Structure 1
Amino acid sequence: MTTWKQYLEDPEQFEGAFRLFDFPMHYFAAIQKRNQVNLGRKLEMIGLTPLDWRILAALRENGSMAINDLAEITVFDRFKVSRGANDLIKQGLVVPDPSARDGRKRRLILSESGQKKYKEAFTLVAQVYLANFEGLSDDEFEQLMRLVRRIRDNVFTLRNTRITQIRRSDDPLPAELPFPVWSPCTPAPFNPVMSAHVL
């Protein structure tokens, strides 16, 4: 029986046998897309979006944060996070951090109203998450998290040399890749692992 590694280590031989559904990346994308829809339907009941939720949750967990840090931990691009943060400021849920020392970078914190809104939103998000993981035992959940984090580490440490190793021999890789290879360099205390309730 051909293993998944054999499929990928010899792409010329097994190219015709490749199927998207044989690998978890397809399911990661499908799950995340549907999860955002489900969260959106719940959160709209209290006037929030999934992006609003992620920003509130990130600030609730980490305290004062700059837009760049928020963009990294919420896994949204900087423009969307900046626009979302401005909307939350207009609603009075997020405010500039008055204790921030670096005037060049605007840092944000939750307001008192934002703290209350976070708690209200968490009640709804918890319902979605309970449904997402229905039927999983505590041990299965912990095993799932260990495996996902291991894959996460592999993806985030991908380097040009590793890409070169998996390229086909008749498809040479240029000395410099035409696109950036993501490498996390998040300063403490922000962690790209992210707590489950942030996603």
Structure 2
Amino acid sequence: MRDNNDMPGHLIRRLQQIAVAVFHSEAEAAGYDLTPVQYAALAAISTSPGIDQVTLAGLIAYDRTTITGVVDRLAQKGLIERQASSRDRRARELTMTPEGKKTLEGITPAVTAAQQLMVRGLTDDETEELMRLLRKAIAAGNELSRAPLRQV
């Protein structure tokens, strides 16, 4: 039987646990109550104002059911607004509120610090190599996911 430390799935899960813990710690220390997926959604809405929920889900690789809860929480926090789409009556367009813009700008240094903490045991070259390998593995397995990443 293989040791867990020889299994990529186990190591990826552990790194994800560390990444989430570090993100929460840095965000909380900076005075923000935002999860990693809420941050990802807010950042995507910032760069694509008027995006609909289905497209947002594809951009950040989350399933449609989960993204509904994420959008609901961001709206409850007053960070985004949902409006009926002028192109599709069934779709809701998402835009950031002034509070959402302020939050995104304010939390960005904490997110940057969290990213650095996640790879603190690696040199710059090792970090670049890790990122290259992660991107390669993700690209090869993207379609196996319940929520594949979709480029717009």
Query: Shared fold (TM-score greater than 0.5)?
Result: yes
2:118 counterpart letter in structure 1: N
**1:185 Cα deviation after fit:** 7.3
2:139 maps to: 153
**1:183 Cα deviation after fit:** 8.2
Structure 1: any 5+ residue segments left out of the alignment? 1-15, 159-180, 190-199
1:129 maps to: 115
**1:124 Cα deviation after fit:** 1.2
1:85 maps to: 71
Give RMSD over aligned pairs. 2.7
- TM-score normalised according to structure 1 size: 0.63
1:134 counterpart letter in structure 2: R
1:32 maps to which of 12, 16, 22: 16
Task: Output the CA distance in 2 between the equivalents of 1:72 and 1:183.
Answer: 7
Q: Deviations over 1:83-137 (max 9, x none)?
A: 2212222332101357752222112121222111101111211111111122534
Q: Which moved more, 1:90-99 or 1:57-66?
A: 90-99
Task: Output the CA distance in 1 between the equivalents of 2:117 and 2:60.
Answer: 22
2:127 maps to which of 121, 141, 159: 141
Counting matched residue pairs gives 150
Q: Deviations over 1:148-189 (max 9, x none)?
A: 12111221255xxxxxxxxxxxxxxxxxxxxxx758472x42
Q: Does 2:69 align with 1:48? A: no
Task: Output the CA distance in 2 between the equivalents of 1:57 and 1:50.
Answer: 11
1:101 counterpart letter in structure 2: R
Q: Deviations over 1:21-42 (max 9, x none)?
A: 2132211111112211222233
1:28 counterpart letter in structure 2: I
**1:142 Cα deviation after fit:** 2.3
Structure 2: any 5+ residue segments left out of the alignment? none
1:109 maps to: 95
Task: Output the CA distance in 1 between the equivalents of 2:72 and 2:40.
Answer: 14
Percent of counterpart pairs with the same letter?
A: 27
Q: Which moved more, 1:142-151 or 1:62-71?
A: 62-71
